[in-house]
Amino acid sequence: MIKVTRLNGVEYLLNPHIFESIEVNPDTTITLVSGKKIIVKETPEQVLDAIMKYRKKLGVFGNEE
């Protein structure tokens, strides 16, 4: 799971394996495979960095940088 922050300041844990896309509209919007959209304070780069750290911790795709 990765930690993201909703616009109201509440921290939220998400499973990055269910992300379909990440967009900037102008806020960072994460779309899940279910179609649900979550708007977060983090930039797309910060979300991507958190996903890569999570995958490295699991040992999946350990060569990602």
Q: What share of the chain is helix, strand, coil (3-state, %, to 5)?
A: 30, 35, 35
Using DSSP's 3-state secondary structure scheme, residue 42 falls into coil
- Summarised one tens digit per residue, pLDDT across range 22-59 is 999 999 999 999 999 999 999 999 999 999 999 888 88
Of the listed ranges 4-8, 52-56, 59-63, the least confidently predicted one is 59-63
What integer pLDDT is reported at residue 13 of this predicted model? Answer: 96
Instruction: Examine the pLDDT at 17 and tell me if it is beyond 50.
Output: yes
φ and ψ of 62, to 5 deg: -60, -15
